[in-house]
Structure 1
Amino acid sequence: MDKQMECIEINIPTSTHAKPELHETDTKFGAKEIWVQIQSVWEFCKEDTGREIFALKVGITVLLVSLFVLFEAPYQVFGSNIIWAILTAIIVFEDTVGATFNRRFNRAVGTLVAVILAVVVAETALSCGHVAEPIILGLSMFMIAVITSYMKMWGALVQYEYGFRVTLMTYCLIVVSDYRIGNPVRTMIDRLYSIAIGGMISVLVNVSIFPIWAGDQLHKELVKNFHLVADSFEECTKKYLEDASEKSKFTMSSIDAFHEEGAYMRCQSTLDSGSRFQTLAQSAKWEPPHGKFMHISYPWLQYVKVGAVLRHCAYEVMALHSIAHAKIQVPYKLRVGLESEVEEASKEAAEVVRILGRDISHMQWSVKDSHVKRLHNSIKRLQSCMCFQYSYMLASTFDNPSKSFANISHMFYHLPYQREMMEEEVECYHHMTGKQLRRLYSWPPREADAFEDIKLEESTAMLSFTNFASSLMEFVARVEHLVEAVHELSKMAKFKSAL
């Protein structure tokens, strides 16, 4: 018995010593997780200070409205129905001034319409007797619910969806309270002044304390997207002209990081901005003239149209990005033949896009005919050289390849930027042609099949090359439409002319 007790006494210290180690590990792991969460919250706060400002303004608004309830004097004047002012302030307050004005207008009009309908229907139902009164009130609520729910889905009335919702809610509350309490006029008055107080305080706080204007945000985001598209376009063309592998016949680009590259993410951000622009433009329409937007009826919807044309340019950049990451590519020695033309065209197009963005930012019009003319000339040179280069790549499929290549080489030799490459290209071509012909007429016959496979791969590569050049030309064509859209905006917004 004594020996057993000794064994128990020896084992107990060992088990009690193991528990603190596990507890200490769990504590460290929990502290690390908490620290990671704190860092993520801090990064979220640093991304946009407007969120903190918006939250503080909502708190100030609710505090000011609640004083009508917390202090005895105003509460005795307005009564318990003043609680609707707090509810209105919370619902009406939005992050931008224009959105707050829009909400306030929808709530005021919706409440006013509901009050008028409720008083008329309530008096009519009351005059029909106690038996018909609940039936009329029930049918009226049904009809109002059907009409408002259907009308708010109408295309032209979607922006007033909140107003229809308020109309339905207010109408039902007044009708029910009138049926049970019997004082619709008093209910109407209470609702009107409560909504007026809550809406007025929300607007005053939003305008007076660090106002966030929807028009300013729309203006800045559109300018930002111009620069994003220009940077992405130049990055894609440079990516395509890179020598991924001089040893391999086709460059095999990895697509693992396709969606993580800067060009792709910037273009995706531009493409996702459509609904955001539409929302900001609708809110900006409700804002009074302010800052540098002092014109009455400022053309905010034209900003949306310009953004739509810019997104069409971003679609072509995405196409160029996918072509640059395609597995089958034109050999670098043939691709570099158009390097100067591609770089010139991309540089001119990106420069025009940046100038348009700067013009919108400074609210001026500085694009001249010389900019567009240089862009046209660069794309014409690319088209001409593309025809020469394409013929050169097809030379291996002719009946007399040596003669055909000699003729095409003569055409290329007259181009200054091709002279340095011609001797090396001619020697390389004759070497490849002789090797391919030996395979074609040698034994066994399957060598000829292998040669046909090579030609099929070359044809596929030529299609990829043509697709890239076509997308680049299409981008330039869309830039011309972009110039027209921005020019129209400059006339509607009365931009000043650059000296």
Structure 2
Amino acid sequence: MANKNGVEWSIRVDDGSTMVLEHEHKHGGMRLKSLIVRFVTRVWMFVKKAWDLGVDDPRKIFHCLKVGVALMVVSLFCYMRPLYDGVGGSAIWAVMTVVVVFEYTVGGTLYKCLNRTCATSLAALGIHWIASHTSHQLEPYIMGISLFILASATTFSRFIPVVKARFDYGCTIFILTYSLVALSGYRVDHLLHMAHERLSTIIIGTCLCIITSMVVFPVWAGLELHRLVSHNMDMLAKSLDCCVADYFCCGDEESKKSLQSYKCVLNSKASEESMANFARWEPAHGRFNFRHPWKNYLKIGASSRSCAYCIETLTSCLASKNQVPELIKNHLETSCMNLSTTSSNVIRELATTVSTMTRSAKINMMAKDMNHTVRELQSDLNSLLDLLIQPHYHEEKNELSEIIVMPEVIPLMSFASLLIETASRIEEHMMKAVEELAEKARFKQPENEVKL
């Protein structure tokens, strides 16, 4: 049976009941439109996020273009007959090399290129030496034993921290190349010629990556680390100010948004270590010499995270800020706000010292101001005892006594103690780390001292 709105079928079964199957074209059309709209919306959101990412950092777009150009140039060794005849069938190794070793930063590219070239050379030389000093009958046994020994020893070396940090990729490539050349070279008569072709194509690919990475819109890992450390210090100072202002109800909506800025410091350890490792491979560039003390940036990052953990604990005190009596809170508000201001000023001055690579002429005076506000807060905490002592009348003894009310005040005292601890870590860890970097990197003297 059909109706006006759609098509309907009725089926009568043996027990006398009727089963109705209805298919409405309108409902099906609405579902299809909904799926299309949802798909288009998701595609649009993806395109928008990709566009925002490119606008926020155009260097990422340039990196994509550099990879495309490098692959296009190296592919000529496969498409052009004269170039293909020069490298033989190993031309594809040049393409694979570009895909594998081309990194976002110059240091990352150099790290992988040098590791890959050296590992391939050592593997090829090792295979050739072993093959030339063994007879044809013993060659498969010698190859198998050497493969077992070298693969095991190289894999074990990757557990050594120094080797893992600098040569982990090279160890992997050494095992891979040695295995491939050993297995394929056993059935190939011209083993040295094959190793030479593969090494030549790998050198071609690595040289092309290095030149493209260093010449066309280079992104230096050292400069990225330099900017990241100073930026994290600025975020730390902003978060400290916002946290104290929010606790005493002095902050605005903008400060509440910046309250979680310290989290970028806690999450940057892996990035800092990676950039410091890549920066060691980079040549001198800009204001950075070849042996620039990149390890000291890691010390500054560690000291920043030490302060960030204190700030993270400070933010946990915000949940109990309403439990503290206003009279007690007002007693410590001024000293806490002053300590927050002086501490954040010291952090910002240290960040400026790192970013400009110029020693600060007023950092010592600012540190004295911070210590002075610490002593003021400690004095206010000692005088807080007078406010906590309250008279209480005992009816049975008919006399006045004094009791101390503590539970409501514990959160405030914890908050103040954490502020003092934060200031202590700034002076003992962060200032010393920046001073050590300034000495080793030979930061410029402040202008007023130069004039003197």
Taking structure 1 as the reference length, the TM-score comes to 0.79
Residue of 357, 364, 368 corresponding to 2:363: 368
- Give the partner amino acid of 1:138: G
2:194 aligns to what?
A: 187
**Is residue 2:327 matched to residue 1:333?**
yes
Alignment pair present for 1:26 and 2:18: no
Q: Identify the residue that residue 44 of structure 2 maps to in structure 1.
A: 38
Kindly indicate whether the alpha-carbon contact (under 8 Å) linking 1:213 and 1:284 is maintained by their aligned counterparts in 2: yes
**Structure 1 segment 427-442 matched on structure 2, within 5 A:** 433=392, 437=393, 441=395
Rounded to whole Å, the distance in 2 between the matches of 1:217 and 1:390 is 50
What SS does structure 2 have at the residue aligned with 1:95? Answer: coil
1:179–1:207 distance in 2 versus 1, CA, 3 Å: same
**Conserved 8 A contact 1:110-1:167:** yes
- Within 1, Cα distance between the matches of 2:37 and 2:151? 53
Quickly say closer, same or farther: Cα 1:173–1:467, change in 2 above 3 A.
Answer: same
Q: Of 425, 429, 434, which residue of structure 2 is paired with 1:486?
A: 434
Aligned twin of 1:89: 98
Equivalent residue number for residue 294 of structure 2:
300
Runs of 4+ in 1 over 4 A off after TM superposition: none
Equivalent residue for 2:245, pick from 238, 243, 263: 238
Equivalent in the alignment of 1:451: none
Whether the aligned pair in 1 keeps the contact of 2:102 and 2:109 (CA below 8 Å) is yes
Match of 2:235 in 1: 228
Match of 1:67 in 2: 76
Q: Partner of 2:284 in structure 1?
A: 289
Offset of 1:368 from its aligned partner? 3.4
Aligned position for 1:413 = none
1:122·1:175 contact (CA, 8 Å) conserved in 2? no
Q: Deviations over 1:45-79 (max 9, x none)?
A: 42333332222211111111001111111112211
Q: Is the 8 A contact 2:157 2:163 kept in 1?
A: yes
Q: CA deviation at 1:222?
A: 0.9
Counterpart of 2:132 in structure 1 is: 123
Residue in structure 2 matching 1:15, options 7, 21, 25: 7
| 1:29-428 alignment, distance < 5 Å | 29-47=35-53, 48-125=57-134, 127=135, 129-130=136-137, 132-159=138-165, 160-242=167-249, 262-263=257-258, 265-293=260-288, 295-326=289-320, 329-366=323-360, 367-393=362-388, 395-396=389-390, 401=391
Preserved CA contact (<8 Å) 1:264 1:318:
no
Distance 2:110 2:419 in 1: 44
Q: For 2:219, what is the secondary structure of its paired residue?
A: coil
2:247 and 2:321 mapped to 1: Cα distance? 12
Q: CA deviation at 1:29?
A: 4.5
The DSSP-based 3-state class of the residue aligned with 1:497 is coil
CA separation of 1:333 and 1:22: change in aligned 2, threshold 3 A: farther
The amino acid that maps onto 1:65 is: V
Alignment partners' CA distance in 2, 1:298 and 1:356? 19
> How far apart are 1:459 and its partner, in Å?
2.2
Q: State the SS of the aligned residue for 2:320.
A: coil
| Contact kept? 1:222, 1:307, Cα under 8 Å | yes
The 2-side partners of 1:14 and 1:91 are apart by 58
The alignment's C-alpha RMSD in Å is 2.4
CA distance in 2 between counterparts of 1:317 and 1:263 reads 13
Post-superposition offset of 1:224: 0.9
Determine the C-alpha separation between the residues in 2 that align with 1:488 and 1:89.
39
> 3-state DSSP class of the match of 1:364?
coil
Is this contact kept in 1: 2:224–2:275, CA < 8 A?
Answer: yes
Tell me by how many angstroms 1:217 deviates. 0.9
Deviation sequence 1:231-260 (CA, Å, 0-9, x none): 11011111111289xxxxxxxxxxxxxxx9
Contact 1:89–1:199, Cα closer than 8 Å, also in 2: yes
Q: Secondary structure at the match of 1:180?
A: coil
What code does the residue aligned with 1:492 have?
Answer: K
Q: Deviation of residue 340 (structure 1)?
A: 1.1
CA-to-aligned-CA distance 1:111-155 (integer Å, 9 cap, x gap): 111112111222233x2x42x322221121111211111111211
Distance in 1, matches of 2:6 and 2:179, equals 72
C-alpha separation between the residues in 1 aligned to 2:311 and 2:261? Answer: 10
Partner of 1:467: 414
Q: Deviations over 1:365-394 (max 9, x none)?
A: 11432111111111111111111013422x
Q: Is the contact made by 2:221 and 2:276 (CA closer than 8 Å) also made in structure 1?
A: yes
Q: Matched residues, percent identical?
A: 28
Larger relative strand fraction: 2
Unaligned 5+ residue runs, structure 2?
9-22, 397-402, 448-452
Which residue number in structure 2 is paired with residue 5 of structure 1?
none
2-side partners of 1:169 and 1:264: how far apart? 49
CA distance in 1, matches of 2:344, 2:321: 26
Change (3 A) 1:113 1:14: closer
CA contact 2:237–2:345 (8 Å) conserved in 1: yes
Separation (CA, whole Å) in 2 of partners of 1:353 and 1:243:
21
Question: For residues 453-464 of structure 1, what are the structure 2 equivalents within 5 Å?
Answer: 458-464=405-411
The residue type equivalent to 1:373 in the other structure is K
Aligned residue for 2:12? none
Contact 1:328 1:460 in 2 (8 A): no
**Contact kept? 1:122, 1:178, Cα under 8 Å:** no
Letter in 1 for 2:286: G
Deviation at 1:13, TM superposition (A): 5.0
Cα shift at 1:328? 7.1
Whether the aligned pair in 1 keeps the contact of 2:346 and 2:363 (CA below 8 Å) is: no
8 Å CA contact 2:349, 2:363 repeated in 1 = no
1:496 equivalent to 2:409? Answer no
